[in-house]
Amino acid sequence: MALNRPMNPPKPRSQYLLVFSFGLLLLVLTALMALGMTRIESFNSRLNEVTDSQSRNIGTVSELFLSNGQRVSIIDRIFAAATPEERADVHARYRRTIEIYNRAVTSLRELPVSAASRAARDDAIRAAALARGVGEEIVQLLLKGQVAPASELNLTQAVLTDGRLQETLYRLLEANHSATAQAVAVANQGMRNGFLLIGAGGLFALLAGAVIALLVIRVVAATEANLEHEKELAEVTLHSIVDGVITTDASGRVDYLNPVAERYLGWSTQDAHGKPLAEVYRVIDERSGNGIDPLAGGADAAAEDEPVSVRLVDRKGRECPIRYSHAPIRGRDGTVHGMIVVFHDVSQVRAMAQQLIWQASHDALTGLVNRREFERRLSELIDTAKTQGKEHALLYLDLDNFKAVNDTCGHAAGDELLRQLTSLMQTKMRGSDTLARLGGDEFGALLESCLTEQAVRVANALRETIREFRFVWQDKTFSVGVSIGLVPLNAESRDANNVLTLADVCCYEAKNRGRDRVQVYRPQDRDYTGRHSDLQVVSQINRAFELGQFRLYRQFIMPVNPARGMPPHHEVLVRMLDRAGNLIPPTGFMPAAERYNLLTSIERWVVSTLVEYLHRQWLSGGIPRETDAHGERGFYSVNISGASINDKSFPDFLRNLLTRYELPHGLLCFEITETTAISNLTKAAELMHELKGMGCRFALDDFGTGMSSFAYLKYLPVDYLKIAGMFIKDMETDPMDHAIVDSVNRIGHILGMQTVAESVEDAATLSRLKEMGVDYAQGYFISEPEALGAESGHERAVLSA
Ligand SMILES: Nc1nc2c(ncn2[C@@H]2O[C@H](COP(=O)(O)OP(=O)(O)OP(=O)(O)O)[C@@H](O)[C@H]2O)c(=O)[nH]1
Ligand SMILES: [Mg+2]
């Protein structure tokens, strides 16, 4: 669980969008305001200019008005002056007034006026000059004392020019006034536009603000929904996980328990909320029983796994083994907001682990210890025997005739018998002893500190208990026995493997001696090593039966002179696969099989497997339906031993087999060695007659090795004589062998038998055999054995050679 996983950060895009839009809005707004203000400002200053020039115009015109009025009034005073002094005095004032008048006219000329006022101004300047000129003329007349012309001039001209001047000045004022009014109107309009611009900016800002506010509301709502969703998800997760989860605040007080934690702690979130963690979540060291701080190491030492085995103690004091981890809950900035503790119940896992440990050392069927554990304990006992001089005993038990129970009532019955016998045997043993199931119907017992005589007594007690026991299954009652091998364990004992093998060998010895007995190991008595290797082969043979690891091979037997129309045939051979998958030839396992009475089983397997094979071949057309011109067809021969000859049920077995798998007559041939036949002559003759009645042929194998009289051949219904390879091999060089082969061939022919030369290993031998008239040849030169069913072109090649 990723305890430090940060929450999903809010998406930054919306933040940026918000900042950007607000920024843009402010920018636009500021620009609009600035523009509006500038426009207002410019129109304002324009208005100021206009009013300035207006007032200056008015001032200038007024000055002209005034000075003109003074000039006219001074001229009138000159008229009225009574004395020349008075006139001179008034004239002086007249001069000063004229100066002022001229300045006013100059000001008027320099006055900046609009185009509309310019004509009026120029008219006024001209009228002023005219009025001044007429006035000057009048004054000059008066100064000369010519009052009458002056008066006349005054009345005729001066009145006119003065009137004219006044009129032009009025017009100038009017023109000025209308220009000013126009400028004010333009400035007003500009101001209005400025205000309009600011107003529009404000409106835009309002609208944009509203849009942005909407956007913000939506973003915030979406973020809240996201957060809510995440919260729900976290809650659902915490509710549904199988671990207990506790969260605390920064001060270590419980904040939340998920339902699993509530169940295991016996606290509800409500009750636990605000309680110190240690009060709600109590853990103790499993071994010492001491309480431990669940947050040992603090927030920064977030423990992945607790170092010791711990138990959780719930509110009612009940305990449960757990594993837990804790980690700080950190904010984005790294500050610790609290802790999270996660724990889970490990009782099931532990039980499973214990179960596995138990299974690894015990037998599931009987509950006894298994071979592995038994060997371990055996090694320990051997050690104590060596180091402490103690003496113990090892028993190896194999039930007698256990198979019968399996075969009659099935495996379940066999299993039940094994269980019941286990209980029975346990009653005969001390607590310190070990009883184990070593496999199948084999048991082992370790009798600790037990001398041999005492061990023999225990073994016999076991044996008798088992023999007397009656096993009832449904309506049947069984009794079984047990054969026991006993090996003392003392300072001389080698290792577990060795003593177990010895015990096994003793057990087999007990079996061989008639079962239901105890065989004590006495090293001086027998050659146990030879038996041991036999036993290994025997166990391999049993394994081969169980795992189907026998294989059939066939070797081609070639007619030496094809022109005589004799059909080719094959000898069938058996091989066994060992543990490593190597093929073992019959010589590698048949002697042991013979010693341990397994020959008949192997031979029955070979015969029935061959018959099944031939049946399939027959059905599939692998064996031609038609016989050759002589009414013959190829056949397969198979070896049988004295054991099968003496096995009374062998003919019945074969009859059943041949009835089940109908085969044409003559397809099956049995080979018996000459020695076997002679040593079991009556039985062999009986069997041959019986099997010939079922359509089988017979061959006498290894003929010549017995070196007995040929006379008995008259009593045996033999079809083929197989001349022993030992004579064929050297017949080219050894005249004696040559003579034997020749005479056997002749006698065979005389008795109506066909002859087969074994072990043909070269072309010279083959051509010599041909010359002699031997019928068949077999050997590595002709063909090597091949797996039954494998197609081979070799024999055809040799045939046509
Ligand atoms: N029911 C049962 N049978 C088993 C089990 N394991 C092995 N067997 C059978 O036990 C038999 C043991 O073989 P043997 O000991 O050779 O048979 P037996 O009849 O006791 O022969 P002897 O020991 O020679 O007297 C074999 O037939 C196995 O198939 C098992 O777990 N349950
Ligand atoms: Mg047995």
Question: Residues 722-763: pLDDT tens digits?
Answer: 999 989 999 999 999 999 999 999 999 999 999 999 999 999
Residue 4 has pLDDT above 60, yes or no: no
- Judge if 367 and 337 occupy the same domain: no
Query: Which among 603, 682, 593 has a CA at the least distance from the CA of 649?
Result: 603
d(CA 632, CA 621): 17
Contact 697, 719 (CB under 8 A): yes
CA–centroid distance, 774 to ligand 1, in Å, is: 50
What CATH number is attached to the domain comprising 323? 3.30.450.20
Among protein residues, the one with the nearest Cα to ligand 1's atom 22 is 400
* Confidence band, pLDDT 50/70/90 cuts, at residue 698: very high
Contact 550, 605 (CB under 8 A): yes
Instruction: Looking at mean pLDDT, say which of 236-245, 248-257, 306-315 comes out highest.
Output: 248-257
pLDDT at position 160, please?
87
Mean pLDDT for 420-431 is: 94
User: Is the CB of 43 within 6 Å of ligand 1?
Assistant: no
- Judge if 405 and 345 occupy the same domain: no
* Confidence band, pLDDT 50/70/90 cuts, at residue 407: confident
d(CA 767, CA 771): 6
CA–centroid distance, 406 to ligand 1, in Å, is: 8
User: Is the CB of 402 within 6 Å of ligand 1?
Assistant: yes
Domain coverage including residue 89: 12-219
Q: Domain total for the chain?
A: 4
Residue 186 domain flag: yes
Mean pLDDT for 221-250 is: 84
pLDDT at position 396, please?
97
pLDDT at position 381, please?
96
- Judge if 373 and 348 occupy the same domain: no
**Domain-ending residue, one of 304, 331, 352:** 352
Residue 533 domain flag: no
User: Which ligand has its closest atom nearest to the C-alpha of 419?
Assistant: 1
What CATH number is attached to the domain comprising 626? 3.20.20.450
- Judge if 615 and 582 occupy the same domain: yes
- Judge if 348 and 411 occupy the same domain: no
- Judge if 686 and 612 occupy the same domain: yes
- Judge if 587 and 513 occupy the same domain: no
- Which three-class secondary structure state does DSSP give residue 283? strand
Q: Dig out the tokens for 488 from the structure.
A: 């003392």
Contact 413, 404 (CB under 8 A): no
CA–centroid distance, 520 to ligand 2, in Å, is: 18
Residue 5 has pLDDT above 50, yes or no: no
- Compute how many other C-beta atoms are within 10 angstroms of the C-beta atom of residue 795: 17
- Judge if 248 and 208 occupy the same domain: no
Ligand 1 mutation pick, 397, 403, 407, 482, max ligand atoms within 8 A of CB: 403
DSSP 8-state assignment for residue 252: S
Residue 9 has pLDDT above 50, yes or no: no
Range of lowest pLDDT (509-518, 559-568, 572-581, 765-774): 559-568
Residue 263 has pLDDT above 70, yes or no: yes
Give kind and range of the element (H or E) at residue 338: strand 336-345
Whose tokens are 């600011």? That residue is 198
Which is the closest atom of ligand 1 to the Cα of 414? 1
Residue 238 domain flag: no
Check residues 343 and 5 and name the one with the higher pLDDT.
343
**Domain-ending residue, one of 526, 561, 595:** 526
d(CA 502, CA 487): 7
**Domain-ending residue, one of 325, 352, 379:** 352
pLDDT at position 256, please?
92
* Confidence band, pLDDT 50/70/90 cuts, at residue 549: very high
Mean pLDDT of the chain: 86
Residues above pLDDT 90, as percent of the chain: 43
Contact 591, 535 (CB under 8 A): no
Q: What are the backbone dihedrals phi and psi of residue 399, each rounded to the nearest 5 degrees, phi first? A: -65, 145
Range of lowest pLDDT (71-75, 691-695, 789-793): 789-793
- Which three-class secondary structure state does DSSP give residue 620? helix
Residue 452 domain flag: yes
Q: What is the dihedral of CA 161, 166, 168, 173, to 10 degrees?
A: 170
pLDDT at position 63, please?
84
b/e 246-269 (16+ beta carbons within 10 angstroms → b): bbbbeeebbbbbbebbbebbebeb
Residue 540 domain flag: no
d(CA 247, CA 189): 72
Q: Dig out the tokens for 430 from the structure.
A: 């001390």
Among protein residues, the one with the nearest Cα to ligand 1's atom 26 is 403
Among protein residues, the one with the nearest Cα to ligand 1's atom 27 is 403
Among protein residues, the one with the nearest Cα to ligand 1's atom 7 is 440
Among protein residues, the one with the nearest Cα to ligand 1's atom 10 is 440
What CATH number is attached to the domain comprising 79? 1.20.120.30
Check residues 287 and 489 and name the one with the higher pLDDT.
489
User: Is the CB of 444 within 6 Å of ligand 1?
Assistant: no
- Judge if 101 and 130 occupy the same domain: yes
* Confidence band, pLDDT 50/70/90 cuts, at residue 612: very high
* Confidence band, pLDDT 50/70/90 cuts, at residue 692: very high
User: Is the CB of 400 within 6 Å of ligand 1?
Assistant: yes
Q: What are the counts of helices (DSSP H) followed by strands (DSSP E) for the chain?
A: 25, 24
| CB neighbour class for 705 (10 Å; exposed up to 12, middle 13-18, buried from 19) | middle
Q: Dig out the tokens for 163 from the structure.
A: 């009137």
Among protein residues, the one with the nearest Cα to ligand 1's atom 5 is 440
Residue 12 has pLDDT above 60, yes or no: no
Residue 354 has pLDDT above 80, yes or no: yes
Residue 233 domain flag: no
Residue 531 domain flag: no
- Judge if 494 and 396 occupy the same domain: yes
CA–centroid distance, 396 to ligand 2, in Å, is: 11
- Judge if 314 and 368 occupy the same domain: no
Residue 479 domain flag: yes
User: Is the CB of 399 within 6 Å of ligand 1?
Assistant: yes
Contact 643, 599 (CB under 8 A): yes
- Judge if 518 and 418 occupy the same domain: yes
